[in-house]
Amino acid sequence: MFEKIATAQYIVLIAHINPDADSLGAASAMYTHLMRLEKKVTLFCMTERVDSRLQFLPWFDKLRHTFPKSADLAMSFDCGAYKRLGTEVACPLINIDHHKSNEHYGEINVIDITAISTTQVLFDLFNQENIKINPKMATALYAGLLDDSHGFLAPKTDARSFKMAETLSRAKADIYESAEALFHKNSLAALRLKGLMFAQMQLHLDARVVVHLVSREMMEKSGAREVDCEAALEESTGLPHVEVALMLRENRNGKIKGSLRCSGAHDVEKLAALHGGGGHQHAAGFEVENENLEALSEKLITAIQKEI
C-alpha cells in the first residue's frame, strides 16, 4: 500500500456519504501524512451537508464534494460497500476499513474486522511503517476511536482500544475537544427532537424491542438534522429489557432510513442486509424506497421477532 502511495502524484481521500468521525478522522489523518510527503491531495466526500460536530477535525475546511478527474490514486476509509463512496472511482483504489461486510472493491483492500474503528486500522499501519503521528493526526485518529467505541462503552472496547488511546494522548491528541464535540455539545434542535422521539417511542415484544418512527413533520418541527436522531436511538438501548432498538426516519429524499442497535448475541447487521444495508453486529443501517413508516415498522418487528 505505501509503495502505491509513494509512486502516486495526486491522491484523493474518500470519506463515506454522511461521514462520521471515524471515516473523516481516518481521511484527515492520512491527509496530514500525505501533505508531509508533499503529495497533491484532495479530501473528498459526496455529502455536502456534513455533520457540523465534525468541524474540530483537522482539515475539515479542506473537504471537497467534486471528485477530481485527474487523480491517479484514491483511498477510501470506513466504506464497507462501494456505493458508500457516493461516486464512481475510475483510478486505482485502496480500501481501508473494519466492516465485516466489506465488499473488497479496492485494488488493495486493508480490512481488519477485529479493529474497533477504521482509524485503528490506520493507526496500526502508521505504526508498522514507523510513521510519526503528530498532534493533528493523533486528534483525527482518536476521534474515530472515541466515536466508534461510543465513548469506550461499546462491547468491542478492549485493552487494544485503551492502548491506542494512551499512545494518541501522549502524541497530543485533543481529547477534551473530541469528547466535547462528539458526546457533550448538543443543539437545541437536537434536544427538541429527542423530546419528540421519546414521547412517541413504542415498546414491543414485552419491551424487548423499542421502535422510534421519525416523520418529516418531527424533523421540521424540531429543526433537527438527520444525524441528530441516532443519539436518541442509542439512549433507548439503555432501557432494561431492551434487546433491539429500531429507528425509521423519513428522509428529505422521500426514502426511509432505518437504524438498528442491539445488545448481546443478537445480530442486526443481518436484518439490515435484508434491506440492502450493512454495518456491524450491534449497529447497522439501511435505506429503502416506496415504503411508509408504519408498514415497514410492522415488517421489521416481525423479522426481529424471528431473530430474538
End-to-end Cα distance, the chain: 42
- We find the least distance from the C-beta atom of residue 22 to Mn ion, in angstroms, to be 4
Query: Which of 51, 148, 228, 243: binder of Mn ion (CB under 5 A)?
Result: 148
Nearer to Mn ion, 148 or 228 (CB): 148
What is the residue whose three cell numbers read 501533505?
A: 35
DSSP letter assigned to residue 154: S
Give the whole-angstrom CA distance, residue 159 versus residue 172. 20
How many alpha carbons fall within 13 Å on the CB side of residue 93?
A: 19
Interface segment toward Mn ion; rule CB under 5 A; list 7-15, 140-148, 230-238, 267-275: 140-148
C-alpha cell at 201: 417511542
Q: Residue number with the shortest CB distance to Mn ion?
A: 22
147 sits near Mn ion (criterion: CB under 5 A) = no
The binding track of 103-132 with respect to Mn ion, each residue x by CB under 5 A or -, is ---------------x--------------
The binding track of 60-89 with respect to Mn ion, each residue x by CB under 5 A or -, is ------------------x-----------
C-alpha cell at 94: 485502496
Nearer to Mn ion, 112 or 291 (CB): 112
The binding track of 18-57 with respect to Mn ion, each residue x by CB under 5 A or -, is ----x-----------------------------------
* Extended beta strands in 129-234, E state: 202-204, 209-214
Rg (CA), the chain: 19
Nearer to Mn ion, 97 or 174 (CB): 97
Which of 94, 96, 93, 58 lies closest to 77, judged by CA? 96
> Would you tell me which residues interact with Mn ion (CB under 5 A)?
22, 78, 118, 148
